[in-house]
Amino acid sequence: MKNFTKRQLFGILLTVFSTFFVVLPAFGLTSRELDEQIAAEERRMTIMERRTAYYEQLIKKAGEKEKGILDQITQYDQRKGKAEQQIKVLELKQNKAERRIKELNNDIKKTDARIVEIKGYLKERFVAIYKYGGMAELDLLLTASTAHEAMATSILLSKIAREDEDMIEELGISREKLDASKKELEEQRALYASQEKKLQAERQAYKAEIQKRNQLLSKLRKEKSLHEQTAKELQKAQEEVGDTIRRLMRQKQELLAREKEKNKKRPSTNITYLPSGGQLAWPVRGEISERFGKRVHPVFKTTSMHTGIDIRAPRGTSVHAAGPGEVLYVGWLRGYGQIIIIDHGNDLSTVYAHLSSTSVDEGQGISKGQIIGQVGSTGVSTGPHLHFEVRKNGDARDPMKYLR
């Protein structure tokens, strides 16, 4: 495992986090003033990132809604087309039934006329028989020249009477059949009309749903376009803020380098480090709300490695150095908020994050238990607590193995 010097560790931190930071370069500022500007811009960056993610999610949801609405429009259009086709079939059936009913009405009229005609003829015969009794038939029989002719005449008269009766009976049966057929067709026609009315209502409902979804689609596409434009503007703003922060970080590096050169000319001060194998003290007392290891992020709901422990404590609670050493970094890092990094020697360092304030400076010697800041909720945080890390050669280790 490669050992990192303080300069290398600081350089790595700057390299890693400067790519995430997003103020016009200010000259002649102190390191703390630069940190304050960087922190302000980092807060702006965090807000922009969240807003960008929010609008990207809106765009994604709008795309899903757009597809869903288009699918619904297609379904309703297919249903409307099916209903229209069924209406056409029913209209043809109704027309056919109408024509058949007209034909039956004509047949009924003809049958009724024939019945009236035959009844009239029979009526005349009955009147004649009533008037003259059986004289007419008797005259026909008496005028016959032979007995055979008289018998034939009698048979003919009987046959005519029977045929008249049969014809009336057949016409009556035909009339009943015609009436039954007409009634059946009228019932079918009424059924077709009822079905058509229902289908027309369905067709209108489908048409209304299609119109409604087209309006929703138009509104959704306008919103989606607006979200896309907003996301582009936010992305551009993020890039501009990022450029500014990188300029500030470079300026801070230059300032620190100049200060280090000045400090070389001064007498060196003795800094006490944690002995090899020494134990660390608790930086703050409180309940451990999150332990070291894999976890689901409480804000973003993503699975990640939790590189330290979270100790719940009221805002403003004093935070103490876990061991003696030198302050390696004081500033603002994305996600961590206000942060302090202390080098304890032997490639061991501790990290104190989400602080509301800091009370030490970079390069300052620190004693074990010394107050270095206060508990806060800066950066990406769910509430006041201290995020505490222990790192060996820059790699995160379980703090519980070092604390006593």
Q: What is the pLDDT of residues 329-359, one digit of tens each?
A: 888 776 677 889 888 888 888 999 999 999 9
- The CATH number covering residue 233 comes to 1.10.287.950
Q: How far apart are CA 251 and CA 29, in angstroms?
A: 9
Least confident range of 70-84, 123-137, 285-299: 123-137
Q: Is residue 61 part of a domain?
A: yes
State whether 351 and 364 are in the same domain: yes
| Most confident range, picked from 83-92, 263-272, 305-314 | 305-314
State whether 303 and 347 are in the same domain: yes
Q: Specify the pTM.
A: 0.42
- The CATH number covering residue 359 comes to 2.70.70.10
The mean pLDDT of 170-189, rounded to a whole number, is: 80
Q: Tell me how crowded residue 112 is: count the other CB atoms within 10 A of its CB.
A: 13
Which residue is listed with tokens 């280790």? 397
Q: Does the pLDDT at position 180 exceed 90?
A: no
State whether 292 and 264 are in the same domain: no
State whether 165 and 258 are in the same domain: yes
Q: Does the pLDDT at position 321 exceed 90?
A: yes
Instruction: Give residue 213's pLDDT.
Output: 76
**Domain closes at, from 233, 268, 303:** 268
User: What is the DSSP code (8-state) at residue 403?
Assistant: B
Q: Is residue 7 part of a domain?
A: no
Q: Does the pLDDT at position 392 exceed 90?
A: no
**Domain closes at, from 251, 268, 285:** 268
**What's the full length of the chain, in residues?**
404
pLDDT digits (tens, 9 = 90+) for 210-263: 788 778 777 777 776 776 776 676 566 556 645 654 665 577 667 767 776 776
State whether 232 and 161 are in the same domain: yes
Q: How does 26-39 read in b/e, with b if 16+ C-beta sit within 10 Å? A: eeebebeebbebbb
Identity of the residue numbered 182:
K
Percentage of the chain lying above the pLDDT 90 cut: 15
Beta bridge partners of 295: 304
State whether 276 and 195 are in the same domain: no
Q: Is residue 15 part of a domain?
A: no
Long-range contacts of range 166-172, CB-CB < 8 Å, 24 or more positions apart? 167/118, 168/115, 168/118, 168/119, 168/122, 171/111, 171/114, 171/115, 171/118, 172/115
State whether 150 and 198 are in the same domain: yes
Q: Does the pLDDT at position 170 exceed 50?
A: yes
The mean pLDDT of 112-133, rounded to a whole number, is: 65
Q: How far apart are CA 146 and CA 110, in angstroms?
A: 42
State whether 398 and 337 are in the same domain: yes
The parent domain of residue 304 ranges over: 272-404
Q: How far apart are CA 47 and CA 162, in angstroms?
A: 109
Whether residue 319 contacts residue 386, with contact meaning beta carbons closer than 8 Å, is answered with yes
Whether residue 61 contacts residue 50, with contact meaning beta carbons closer than 8 Å, is answered with no
Instruction: Give residue 20's pLDDT.
Output: 37
Q: Is residue 382 part of a domain?
A: yes
The mean pLDDT of 277-296, rounded to a whole number, is: 87
Q: Does the pLDDT at position 403 exceed 90?
A: yes
Phi, psi of 293 (to 5 degrees): 125, -175
Instruction: Give residue 160's pLDDT.
Output: 60
Instruction: Give residue 6's pLDDT.
Output: 42
Q: Is residue 25 part of a domain?
A: no
- What's the number of domains the chain is made of? 2
State whether 184 and 253 are in the same domain: yes
Q: How far apart are CA 361 and CA 373, in angstroms?
A: 11
Which residue is listed with tokens 């306008």? 222
- Of 116 and 323, more confident: 323
The mean pLDDT of 87-115, rounded to a whole number, is: 81
HEC string for 54-117: HHHHHHHHHHHHHHHHHHHHHHHHHHHHHHHHHHHHHHHHHHHHHHHHHHHHHHHHHHHHHHHH
Joined tokens for residue 398: 């379980």
Averaged pLDDT score across all residues of the chain: 73
Q: Does the pLDDT at position 327 exceed 80?
A: yes
State whether 251 and 345 are in the same domain: no
User: What is the DSSP code (8-state) at residue 280?
Assistant: B
State whether 257 and 355 are in the same domain: no
pLDDT digits (tens, 9 = 90+) for 12-48: 343 334 333 334 444 456 767 767 777 777 677 677 6
**Domain closes at, from 253, 268, 283:** 268
Smallest CA-to-CA distance from 285 within 130, 403, 127, 172 is with 403
State whether 48 and 186 are in the same domain: yes
Q: Is residue 147 part of a domain?
A: yes
Q: Does the pLDDT at position 382 exceed 90?
A: no
Q: Is residue 144 part of a domain?
A: yes
User: What is the DSSP code (8-state) at residue 1?
Assistant: -
pLDDT band at 310 (very low <50, low <70, confident <90, very high): very high
Q: What's the first-to-final CA gap in the chain, in angstroms? A: 26
Instruction: Give residue 300's pLDDT.
Output: 39
Could you give the angle at the alpha carbon of 56 between the alpha carbons of 51 and 61, nearest 5°?
A: 125
Beta bridge partners of 366: 325
Instruction: Give residue 132's pLDDT.
Output: 45
Q: Is residue 12 part of a domain?
A: no
